[in-house]
Amino acid sequence: MELENYQKELNKILKGCDICKAKMCNFCPNGKRKKFLKEKIKKLSSPKKFF
């Protein structure tokens, strides 16, 4: 459930980024949010291994 919410939010941001002409992601708050969301999605989607 939480993973789906992160993916939906990331998709919304990516649609805006496709429209953006500035392409200054380092300064854009959406760029920082994208990075955070991608990390969360990667963490939640990766299988956890216990040894």
Q: pLDDT by residue (tens digit) across 1-51?
A: 788 999 999 999 999 888 888 888 888 899 899 999 999 999 988 766 555
Contact 7, 41 (CB under 8 A): yes
In a domain, 50, yes or no: no
In a domain, 11, yes or no: yes
Contact 38, 10 (CB under 8 A): yes
CA angle 16, 18, 24 (to 5 degrees): 85
In a domain, 12, yes or no: yes
Contact 31, 25 (CB under 8 A): yes
In a domain, 51, yes or no: no
Total tally of structural domains belonging to the chain? 1
In a domain, 8, yes or no: yes
Per-residue pLDDT, 48: 62
Per-residue pLDDT, 50: 55
In a domain, 25, yes or no: yes
Per-residue pLDDT, 46: 75
What predicted TM-score, i.e. pTM, was given to this entire model? 0.75
- Structural domain that includes position 40: 2-44
Burial of 37 (0-12, 13-18, 19+ CB in 10 A): buried
